[in-house]
Each structure stands twice: as structure tokens, then as C-alpha cells.
Amino acid sequence: MLEKVKELREKFSEKLGAAADPQVLEALRVEYLGKKGSVTDLLKSMKDLAGEEKKEFGQQVNILKNEIAEAIASKSEQLRQEALEREINLMPEFDLSAPPVLDRGSYHPITLVQRECENVFRSMGFTVEDYSEIVTDYECFESLNIPKHHPARDMQDTYYLTNGQLLKSQTSAAQNAIYKKYRKALMEEGKPIKAIFPGRCFRNEATDNCHENTFFQMEGVMVDKNISISNLIFFMKTMLSEVFRKDIKVRLRPGFFPFVEPGFELDISCLICGGTGCPSCKHSGWLELCPCGMIHPEVLKAGGIDPEEYTGFAFGLGMTRLAMMKYGIKDIRDLNSGNLKALSQFTQDC
């Protein structure tokens, strides 16, 4: 009888070796360990034996049964591993060398520069104000101490509308409203007026690569009890260093604007050469950047603020010029062109 066990074992071993896929293996398991399988048959034949022989035979068959079960399990695992490896080897290496598809949108360069400036000024406690594009003569000129006969009020420079209003020629046109908005908090709570107001301005002039009739400025004002020229220089230097992300030098020259006294032209050390002189700064080491000054007493008065008690400074940054400087835009007309070949290049600025 033990011969039969030996025979079965040898036969199984042979068949297991030939089993190459899970289906064949399963059939083999049924053939040997199934209810009608060969091992089961052997166990059934035990009833014809007795005594030591029966015990011996029983042990041997059980051993065989376990051996077969283990061998099948092990072979099954082996086949699973082999299948996995085959699958892995079938996976190709993907080609990443083609240009990626970005499908991205773009911000207008003015938006990017404006956001950057706004963030700097906000971090220093300035509110960001919005103001209309169409303003009154009072807002744009009279409240800013610009006399009736001043050349800036001439028809040929300013876009007047048939109802007597005009397209604002400078962001300073918002000054009066800002003073009136915050004067109460200034006088009653001692809160200084610190505000910037970016906006679109219009001047009636022929356009070419450096002249536009529609452009952006950003005005800023600060009013409190003891605001001085020294403070003006400090704030301009600090804020411009932040905007340009490097330590820049500033210098003031006298400049005449009716709404400030004294008025200044502010130059910054050349961004390209740092002040040693290069073609960008016409070898002067300086770039003229923005007009500024101490707010004229008449302008404060028009805003309902007593110039004997309060002083302040104001400045006007040319956002369009800043954007052109920052990105090396050579033709100012590109900005309003709507031409996506130019404009789609301005994604988030880091």
C-alpha cells in the first residue's frame, strides 16, 4: 500500500512541474485533493487496513496530502509572482520629453504690478481706494489748487465730456474725496490718513511707442499732525525698495505741481547699473520715477483739513511706466492692444 503513496507522490511531482498556469494548477488540486481526488481515494482505501499498517498508511497519506497542498500553494504563489512580473515588464516607459501642454491664462501686466505695489503699501498700513474714471472739474483741478487758466485744464490736454465732466487726467483727482472720507477719523480718532489709489488716467495726446492717451497711475497720500519732508523721503525710499526688491537710493529735485508745496521730482538709483551710469539711465546713474511733494495747504483745506494743524505728503507712481520698466515692454501701446501674443506672457509674477 505504501507503494501506492510513493507512486502517487512521484506522479504528482511530475504533473506539478508541468503546470504553467493557475487553471492547470487548480485542476491538479482537484485531481489530487478534491472530493473525488486521488489522495481522497487513498484515504478511503484505509478502511481495508487495520492495526499498525492502517496507522502507518494513514500517517503516510496525510503527509502526502500536506505535501501536495503546500506544493500547490507554493506553485500558485510562484505563478502569481511570475504573472506580476510579466505585467510589469509589459508596461512601457512613457516619453516625457515632448513640451508640456500648459493651457494657462494670463494677467494683464498692470494687474501684476498693481498687486505688487498694493501689497507693499498695505503692509505699511495704507488702504487701497478705488475711484471713478469720469470726474468733475472740481475733483480733477479746482480742489487740487489748479487755477482756472492753468494749461493742464486746456481742452487739448484733457478729455472733457459734453456734460462738463472729464476723463480724469491724473489719479490726484481722487485726493479730495479721500480726504473727505477719512477726515473725521483723522480729527476725531487721530487715525492718520494713509491711502493709495491706483487708477486709469487719460490725456488727449497723439500715441506712439512711448505715449498713450490711456494709462495707469497710482496716487498715494499720508496726512497726520507732523508729517514732514523727512518722512516723505523715508517712506518713498522704503516703499520703492520693497517694490523693486532691492535697496535703492532716492533723491529729490524741485518739481512744480500746483497741488504740492514743496513739490519734487523723485529719482531712484538706476535699476540696471545701480548708479554707476549706463545707457538705460543715459549715464546719469539716476532714473526719474515719480513726482511727489508736501500736500499744498489749499488742497488740504479743500478736503476739509486744517493745514495749520495737519501736514501730509502725496506721490504719484506711473504704473504703466513701472510695468514697462519691470518687464522690458518697449511699446506702450501693447498694453491696451488686447494682443494676446504680447499679453498672454504675463502669468503670476513670483
Partner 1 sequence: MFLSMNWISDFVDLSGLDKLKLIQQFSLSTAEVENEIFMKGADISGIVCAEILSVEPHPESQKLHLLKVDCGKGEPVDVVCGAPNVRVGMKTAFAPLGAKIGEITIAPRKLAGYTSNGMCCSEAEIGISDDNSGIMEITDDIAPGTELKSVYEIDDIVFEVDNKSLTNRPDLWGHYGIAREFAALCGRPLKAIDTADLTQYSGLPSVDMKIEDPLCYRYACIQVENVTRRVSPVNMRIRLFYCGMRAINFLADITNYIMLEMGQPMHAFDSRKVEKIRIKRFDKPFVFRTLDGEDRNIDENTLMICNGDTPVAIAGIMGGLDSEIVDDTTRLTLESATFDPVSIRKSTVRLSHRTEASQRYEKSLDPEMVVTAVGRFLYLMNESDPGTKIVSSLTDEYAYRYPQISFGFDKKYVDRYTGIEIDNATIVKTLESLGFGVKNTGDDFTVDIPSWRATKDVTIKADIIEEITRIYGYDNFDVHTAESPLYPVRISAEKNVEEQIKDMLVKRFSLHEVHSYVWPYYDEFKALGIEAEDNIRLVSAPMAIRKNIAPTQLCQIKLNSAYAPDFGIFEIGRVVDGLKEDGLCNEKKILAITLFSKVDSTEKLYLRLRDIIAVLADDIKHQSVSFESIAPSHSWQHPRNLNSIVCDGKKIGEMGLPYPSIAVKIDKKASIVYAEIEIEAFTAVEALGISYEEPSKYPEIEVDLTFRSSVFAPLAEAVKNAKSALVRRVSQADIYDDENGRAITMRLVFADNSKTLTREEVTEVTDKIIEELSAKGIALKV
Q: How, if at all, do strands 193-202 and 127-128 pair?
A: parallel
Cβ closest to partner 1, residue 76 vs residue 336: 336
- Among the listed ranges 5-13, 39-47, 57-65, 259-267, the one in contact with partner 1 (CB under 8 A) is 259-267
Contact residue for partner 1 among 19, 25, 42, 110 (CB under 8 A):
110
Q: Applying CB under 8 A, does 275 fall inside the site for partner 1?
A: no
Does 327 sit near partner 1 (CB under 8 A)?
A: no
Binding mask 202-231 for partner 1 (x = CB under 8 A): x-x--------xx-------x-x-xxxxxx
Q: Which residues of 208-233 are buried (b: 16+ CB within 10 A; e: fewer)?
A: eeeebebbbbbbbbbbbeebeeebbb
Q: Of 11, 80, 191, 246, which one interacts with partner 1 (CB under 8 A)? A: 191
Buried-exposed string 260-282: b where 16+ CB fall within 10 A, e elsewhere? beebbbbbbbbbeeebeeeeebe
User: Which part of the chain contacts partner 1 (CB under 8 A), choosing from 20-28, 34-42, 54-62, 160-168?
Assistant: 160-168
Task: Out of 16, 46, 79, 134, point to the residue binding partner 1 (CB under 8 A).
Answer: 134
* Alpha-carbon span 274 to 7, nearest angstrom: 96
Q: Which of 132, 142, 180, 327 binds partner 1 (CB under 8 A)?
A: 132
Using CB under 8 A as the binding rule, whether residue 155 contacts partner 1 is answered as yes
Question: What sections of 45-90 are H helices per DSSP?
Answer: 51-90
Q: Is 190 in the site for partner 1 (CB under 8 A)?
A: yes
Which is nearer to partner 1, 44 or 184 (by Cβ)?
Answer: 184
Closest CA to 288 of 317, 259, 257, 324: 317
Strand 311-318: give its sheet, edge to edge.
127-128, 193-202, 214-224, 311-318, 286-295, 260-269, 250-254
Residue 313 beta carbon to partner 1: minimum distance, rounded to whole angstroms: 9
